[in-house]
């Protein structure tokens, strides 16, 4: 069997407060991260185009995002967060993550996890949460929903990379909508899972997660269906004007879709 191409991050050292023991609280200690990622496609197929590969920056950002999500008692939990962030990228087939504490003894102490895409659960979040496709006629969202930004209405510049430009325009819409509704913006899987777990509504900025997903579509409805399937949503609610008809759903849609009742939250 031909060995898969891989990229890696080695000996990445950061300081953080982590640990379950009382002696570890209120003080930072050094953590060393090593990530080794097996790629779905050979690097030679990328055509020297950076947007078609899993960038090394994804690995660094996965560590930073996981570190910023919460204070951890266990390095195992931190490693699992990093795994989820990296495997959210479509070019990542499998990953080995090693997290070591460097200041707990004469040597390093830590954990090494290996996960592949097939072994990952559909979602690490609680069940029965629903997505909401919002519009100006909808009430303020509450409960277990991730608000998807509406169409931007922004004029898009001509040229190549059309889908990425459309996603970036939706990111702008997400930030504008979040400001209007006084909500937070979520761009990563970790941020989305934390919001769902805490039943906190957030506005999803899709560019980071969906940019490389060939099946993600470009319209808010297509993206909402893609995200709901990816994170195991119980359904998608559409906030539509009273006189608007239900839109046609893409062929093969399995996520339950319902019209948000007037005045519902």
The model's pLDDT over 197-246, given as tens digits with 9 standing for 90+, comes to: 777 889 999 988 887 666 667 788 888 888 888 888 888 888 887 777 88
Work out the percent of the chain whose per-residue pLDDT is above 90.
20
In contact, 193 and 226? CB cutoff 8 Å: no
Sheet holding 184-186, edge to edge: 184-186, 202-204, 146-148, 130-133, 235-238, 257-259
In Å, what is the CA distance from 237 to each residue of 132, 177, 256? Answer: 5, 17, 9
pLDDT of amino acid 246: 86
Of 11, 161, 8, the closest CA to residue 92 belongs to: 8
pLDDT of amino acid 129: 82
∠ CA(221), CA(222), CA(226), 5° rounding?
115
In Å, what is the CA distance from 102 to each residue of 7, 15, 20, 26, 70? Answer: 24, 10, 16, 17, 20
pLDDT of amino acid 125: 46
Q: Where are the domains of the chain?
A: 6-119, 130-259
Positions of the chain with pLDDT lower than 70, given as ranges: 1-2, 43-53, 119-127, 137, 152, 154, 156-157, 159-160, 212-216, 261-265
pLDDT of amino acid 265: 47
pLDDT of amino acid 1: 55
- Kindly report the pTM of this predicted structure: 0.57
pLDDT of amino acid 232: 80
In Å, what is the CA distance from 200 to each residue of 120, 145, 203, 220? Answer: 24, 7, 10, 20
Q: Is CATH 3.40.50.2300 the right assignment for the domain spanning 6-119? A: no
In Å, what is the CA distance from 255 to each residue of 25, 116, 123, 250? Answer: 43, 25, 15, 11
pLDDT of amino acid 111: 94
């Amino acid at each position: 069997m031909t060995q898969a191409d891989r990229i890696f991050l080695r000996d990445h050292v950061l300081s953080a407060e982590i640990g379950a023991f009382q002696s570890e609280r209120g003080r930072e200690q050094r953590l060393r991260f090593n990530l080794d990622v097996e790629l779905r496609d050979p690097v030679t197929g990328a055509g020297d185009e950076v947007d078609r590969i899993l960038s090394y920056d994804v690995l660094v950002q996965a560590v930073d995002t996981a570190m910023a999500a919460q204070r951890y008692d266990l390095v195992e939990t931190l490693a699992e967060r990093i795994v989820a962030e990296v495997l959210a990228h479509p070019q990542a087939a499998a990953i080995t993550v090693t997290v070591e504490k460097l200041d707990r003894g004469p040597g390093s102490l830590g954990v090494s996890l290996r996960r592949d895409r097939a072994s990952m659960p559909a979602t690490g979040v609680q069940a029965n949460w629903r997505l909401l496709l919002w519009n100006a006629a909808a009430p303020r969202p509450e409960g277990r929903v991730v608000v998807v930004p509406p169409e931007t209405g922004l004029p898009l510049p001509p040229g190549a990379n059309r889908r990425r430009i459309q996603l970036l325009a939706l990111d702008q819409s997400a930030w504008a909508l979040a400001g209007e509704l006084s909500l937070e913006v979520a761009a990563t899987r970790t941020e989305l899972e934390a919001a769902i777990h805490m039943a906190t509504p957030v506005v999803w900025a899709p560019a980071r997660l969906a940019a490389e997903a060939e099946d993600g579509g470009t319209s808010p409805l297509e993206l909402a269906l893609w995200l709901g399937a990816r994170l195991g949503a119980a359904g998608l609610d559409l906030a539509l004007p009273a006189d608007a008809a239900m839109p046609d759903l893409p062929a093969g849609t399995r996520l339950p879709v319902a019209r948000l009742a007037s005045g519902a939250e």
